[in-house]
Structure 1
Amino acid sequence: MLTEKELLEMSDNDYMNDQQLAFFKALLLQQKEELNKAIEDAKKSLSESERNTDLNDVASSQEMQQLYLRTVDRQSKLLRKVNESLHQIDSGEYGYCEITGEPIGIKRLLARPTATLSVQAKEIQEHQEKTQGTIKTE
């Protein structure tokens, strides 16, 4: 398995070769496992907080429940993106911008393994969101 340093040192001609795809697949599978565990932990905490509610603590209990629900929602969305990225690896589409077809880049994928847009395409999208008021997230 490649290290992050070895990955960054590879030639642009090697972009998304088998070794790089294996690296990102392992990274995404690890992230998937961590997200599944975090979601289960949050759900468990949510059910425990519902059972252990003291009438004097209802407000703080409801606040904690909202926090757990937001956590589960956010992590579930990220889990969907991780699964989509794993599917892209299997289909040979991973690492390429869904708008331009250009390489997303190793550095960007290391920072955000679920990225589907190149930096330039993302900047254009964000500019359009600001000027047109639409909200579309990667």
Structure 2
Amino acid sequence: MARSKIGDIVEISTGRGLAYAHHTHRHAMYGSLLRVFTGFNAERPDVLQVVSRPVQFSTFFPLNAAVTRKLVQIVGRAPVASSLTLFPTFRAGVVDPLTGTIGTWWLWDGENEWCVGDLTPEQRQFPVRGVMNDTALFERIEQEWNPAVDVR
């Protein structure tokens, strides 16, 4: 099995058309970081057109396993845009089972984690820390989900 590489463009077939993501980082614990782009296509566009789109959301994803299982396809490679070269700051929290909300949020930069309590409006835009499976990835792409709506 060939190992995915930084810069790979990933094609994701959804019920709404073809969607695309860029493999921008690899983390030792969480694996491949994908930047999922906005928009759907009936046919495969030029790779450079894809990577110029806005990022809808970022997530860790088991890319090598998904390629092996033919759930997604690597269709090209492009340099990572300068705006995406820095590892993003993620947010995480524990859901209170009684309220269904998160009372205390934590931020993580890939190495360090710190408590922030409540999120600022800017921090609400940060990706949610975790590894997304293929079902969740496809659903979130189709629903045009973004992390700002997932604040509990």
TM score, norm. by length of structure 2: 0.22
Query: Per residue, is there more strand in 1 or in 2?
Result: 2
Larger Rg over CA atoms: 1
